[in-house]
């Protein structure tokens, strides 16, 4: 069925006879496989008498990439969660760094237990597994560094008005376009492994389960986007950002991160498990903690289940 999907990915009509010849099966077998494609991958196949079959939306299928010298990349047609798969492989003794990319996630997840919308072939669902040997110091600000790399990769495709929302979101025009989820295994104070999960809305046109304003690279550029081009830009930016972070810490990225900080100087509300804190966003410190002016005094916040939003009067 994967071969059939690739044949249909151009969004054009293909006759049953043509598909059968390419697959080496009968036309009736093609029909059954098309039903399987719809069931297994959640895509919609249009059937028009006299013209054949095509996908409702063309797909940009991820091609096997050449050895870039960065890290191995395994592209899976369907997976529960790229983060979960990386953590499983790390627990089984896989050597980091390595990356997993899913064409679809059946149980994709974001921060605070939220579902991550993951239709087949529409977006990037990518997780990089790395080893961290510098203890807590190397982990400081890592999610912000990754967010900066994602923002720059999106900018590299020509998207304007890209900004960052502390701690893990990338926005375009005030709407969410990407998110980051870091998960750790091992001892954070010594040697541990990190699953760096990245989700980018690329060509997705609709998503009923998303409960906040969102956008996509396709919407920003008004064209179908080659996900291979975005993947190349993402991995290049990630390699540079993580290398700089490992060698020089988050302080080396602080100024650049703040230059894309959307809510700098704005009145915001920080929600914690216990309460809500209202203050003016001053930026971030050299560890990546959020700096707020609260009742005339500067306070810093990091870690835990924190959520930030603009205050009603901002």
* 71 CA to centre of own chain: 18
Is 83 a known ligand-binding residue? yes
Q: DSSP class of residue 156? A: H
In 3D, which of 182, 212, 214 has the Cα closest to residue 195?
182
| Measured distance CA(185)–CA(206) in Å, rounded | 34
| Measured distance CA(215)–CA(148) in Å, rounded | 18
Active site residue 309: yes
Strand partners, 299: 292
Active site residue 111: yes
Is 109 a known ligand-binding residue? yes
Is 95 a known ligand-binding residue? no
Is 176 a known ligand-binding residue? yes
* 204 CA to centre of own chain: 13
Active-site residue, selected from the candidate residues 33, 104, 111, 218 = 111
Active-site residue, selected from the candidate residues 89, 152, 176, 254 = 176
Active site residue 176: yes
Burial 270-279 (b: 16+ CB within 10 A, else e): beeeeeebeb
| Measured distance CA(113)–CA(277) in Å, rounded | 22
In 3D, which of 101, 50, 99, 51 has the Cα closest to residue 79?
101
Bridge-based pairing state of the strands 73-76 and 98-102: parallel
| Measured distance CA(209)–CA(167) in Å, rounded | 22
In 3D, which of 135, 136, 118 has the Cα closest to residue 126?
118
Bridge-based pairing state of the strands 169-172 and 124-132: unpaired
Six-digit token string for 146: 């990754």
Task: Please provide the size of the chain in residues.
Answer: 314
Is 123 a known ligand-binding residue? no
- Looking up tokens 């498990």 gives 273
Q: DSSP class of residue 32? A: H
* Residue set of the binding site: 81-83, 105, 109-111, 176
Q: Annotated active-site positions, please? A: 111, 176, 309
* Residue set of the binding site for biotin: 81-83, 105, 109-111, 176
């Amino acid at each position: 069925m994967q071969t059939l999907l690739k044949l249909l990915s151009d969004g054009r009509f293909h006759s049953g006879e043509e598909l059968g010849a390419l697959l080496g099966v009968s036309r009736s077998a093609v029909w059954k496989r098309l039903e399987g494609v719809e069931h297994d991958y959640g895509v919609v196949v249009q059937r028009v008498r006299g013209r054949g079959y095509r996908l409702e939306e063309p797909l940009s299928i991820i091609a096997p990439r050449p050895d870039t010298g960065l890290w191995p990349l395994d592209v899976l047609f369907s997976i529960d969660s790229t983060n979960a798969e990386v953590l499983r492989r790390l627990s089984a003794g896989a050597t980091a760094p390595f990356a997993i990319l899913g064409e679809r996630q059946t149980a994709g997840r974001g921060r605070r237990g939220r579902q991550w919308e993951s239709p087949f072939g529409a977006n990037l669902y990518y997780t990089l597994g790395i080893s961290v040997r510098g203890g807590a110091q190397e982990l400081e600000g890592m999610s912000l560094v990754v967010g900066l790399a994602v923002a720059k990769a999106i900018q590299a495709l020509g998207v304007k008005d890209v900004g960052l929302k502390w701690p893990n979101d990338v926005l375009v025009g005030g709407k969410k376009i990407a998110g980051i989820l870091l998960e750790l295994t091992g001892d954070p104070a010594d040697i541990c492994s990190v699953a760096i999960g990245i989700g980018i809305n690329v060509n997705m046109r609709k998503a009923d389960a998303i409960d906040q304003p969102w956008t996509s690279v396709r919407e920003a550029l008004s064209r179908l986007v080659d996900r291979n081009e975005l993947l190349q830009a993402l991995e290049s930016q990630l390699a540079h950002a993580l290398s700089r972070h490992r060698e020089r810490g988050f302080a080396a990225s602080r100024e650049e991160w703040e230059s894309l900080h959307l809510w700098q100087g704005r009145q915001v509300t920080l929600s914690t498990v216990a309460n809500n804190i209202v203050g003016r966003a001053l930026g971030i410190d050299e560890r990546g903690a959020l700096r707020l002016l609260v009742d005339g005094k500067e306070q810093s916040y990091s870690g835990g289940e924190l959520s930030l939003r603009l205050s009603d009067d901002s």
